[in-house]
Amino acid sequence: MVTGDAAWREAARAVLAANDRGGYTVPTARLYPFQWNWDSAFVAMGFATWDCDRALTELERLAQGQWPDGMIPHIVFHRPSETYFPGPDVWGTESRRRAGGPATSGLTQPPVFATALRFVWEAMPDSARRERRERAAGLYRAALAWHRWWIGARDPAETGLVAVLHNWETGSDNSPAWDAALARVPTTTSTPIRRQDTGHVDAAMRPRDVDYQRYIHLVDTYRAAGWDPERQWAVAPFKVADVQTTAILARATEDLAALSSALGDDREAAELRDMGRRLCAGLMRQWRPALGRFVGHDLMVGRDIETATHAGFVPLLALDLDESTCAAATAEMTRWLAEVRLGLPTVPRSSPDFEARRYWRGPVWAVVNWLLILGLHRNGRLDLAERLRAGTLAAIERAGFAEHFDPLTGEGGGGSSFSWTAAAYLVLTELDPRRDHFPR
């Protein structure tokens, strides 16, 4: 079943082609001129709608940046570019990286990778799978090492929730959910700040300068700790158990377990199923019936983060909720939708934190809606899923492949010709809710 407009699908493929830098795809030219981790996972699924080889290559290029300890960094700097700060020189990750590998950042990002790998694998006919089994198995092993890294490095106390040490690791960089935790981070930096982002897009859509000082303070702190997971954990001034990251990891763990019969072995399948169970139990403990959402936890002060953001619904991606929990979550989502024109916003309009155009403080993201759609399919809420899908596609067909959309007017914001928005269009126009959310 393919819906959507053929010309828009062609245009989506053209965006991916234009952002292709030879086997990896930049999120958008200039503003983000390198390979970003979760962007590439979404992009691989977009490529899989017509070119599985290219989809595998996207993941392989990302895995080239993987560290010997299993971490897959949030940015891989395959080639230099002068249009982005902080570039490779700021991170100082040489001692942790693979010798001869590309330069990378020192942080990570939401692990959509294994979900993308399963998607690509399942999109291939049997003959193609036979021919590409070795490549897929290499990616399976990269994902397995990364998942083990998450559990060891980011949940040392075995709580079932993984923590992020920088807001950039959440992928929802500027979310108001991090405001209180970031306010405790000092603004002193040893690295001179040379912001480039505000030269590419309207400063009103980007973080403030003082926020940037805090982001770089964190980078300086972890670089001084040699990017060693244990030392970072010990010195981190920002440590948040995030439900969006944990939910993505739980779902990706389930997807990796599903791949283990073809690409791994039984022991790994058992290990992954056990890992998935613990993550799901950790997530379930963060459900707050009075709010109708899941909440994160600030480990620095031992307090929940109740700020209303889309992240509170992402656990549907991994959990099979009971009827009353699911009804409460979907009722809350429906309330958020009623206040805006299209798509589930990253912050509800009725929240004091809502800003229609500043990134992660209100705008609609196509990939966020995509994750929520998969979660709604999983929980049998096909009507609401269809509403999100139709709203996301309508936003794109009206404003193009923007980085994000104003939930009140539908206008595009941030960068344009954005790769993951194009990938979302390609996948969402093919998605079949009856076939376990994978298109073919």
27 binds ligand GLC (CB under 6 A): yes
Q: Binding ligand GLC by CB under 6 A: which of 8, 24, 33, 39?
A: 39
* Residue 349 burial (10 A CB sphere; 0-12, 13-18, 19+): middle
CA-atom Rg of the chain in angstroms: 20
Nearest residue (CB) to ligand GLC, 26 versus 328: 26
Residue 173 in the binding site for ligand GLC (CB under 6 A): yes
Residues 6 or more apart whose Cβ sits within 8 Å of residue 212: 193, 195
Asked if 33 is part of the footprint of ligand GLC (rule: CB under 6 A), the reply reads no
Q: Least CB distance from residue 359 to ligand GLC, whole Å?
A: 7
CB of 101 vs ligand GLC, minimal distance in Å: 20
Site string for ligand GLC, 176-215 (x = CB under 6 A): ----------------------------------------
Q: Using CA atoms, how far apart are residues 109 and 389, in angstroms rounded to an integer? A: 24
CB of residue 420 to ligand GLC, shortest distance in Å: 7
Smallest distance from the beta carbon of 280 to ligand GLC, in angstroms? 24
DSSP class per residue in 279-318: HHHHHHTTEETTTTEE-EEETTTTEEE----GGGGGGGGT
Residue linked to tokens 């600030």: 298
Q: Does 87 bind ligand GLC (CB under 6 A)?
A: no
Minimum Å gap between C-beta 437 and ligand GLC is: 22
Would you call 339 a catalytic residue per the annotation?
no
> Quick one: which H or E segment has residue 163?
strand 163-164
Beta carbon nearer to ligand GLC, 75 or 376: 75
Phi and psi at 68, nearest 5°, equal -55, -25
Q: 171 or 343: whose CB is closer to ligand GLC?
A: 171
Cβ neighbours of residue 203 closer than 8 Å, sequence gap 6 or more: none
Residue among 8, 24, 34, 36 that touches ligand GLC (CB under 6 A): 36
Interface with ligand GLC includes 32 (CB under 6 A)? yes
Q: Which residue has the tokens 């936003």?
A: 395
Token pair belonging to 433: 């809710």
Q: Is 24 in the site for ligand GLC (CB under 6 A)?
A: no
- Nearer to ligand GLC by Cβ, of 173 and 339: the residue is 173
Q: Both tokens of residue 219?
A: 């980078």
- Three-state DSSP at 159 gives coil
How far apart CA 214 and CA 29 sit, in angstroms, is: 26
DSSP 36-65: EHHHHHHHHHHHTTT-HHHHHHHHHHHHTT
Number of residues that bind ligand GLC (CB under 6 A): 7
The answer to the question of residue 416 lying near ligand GLC (CB under 6 A) is no
Active site annotation includes 173: yes
Min separation Cβ 291 and ligand GLC, Å: 24
Decide: is 149 part of the binding site for ligand GLC (CB under 6 A).
Answer: no
User: Catalytic amino acids?
Assistant: 173, 403
Q: Which chain residues interact with ligand GLC by CB under 6 A? A: 27, 32, 36, 38-39, 171, 173
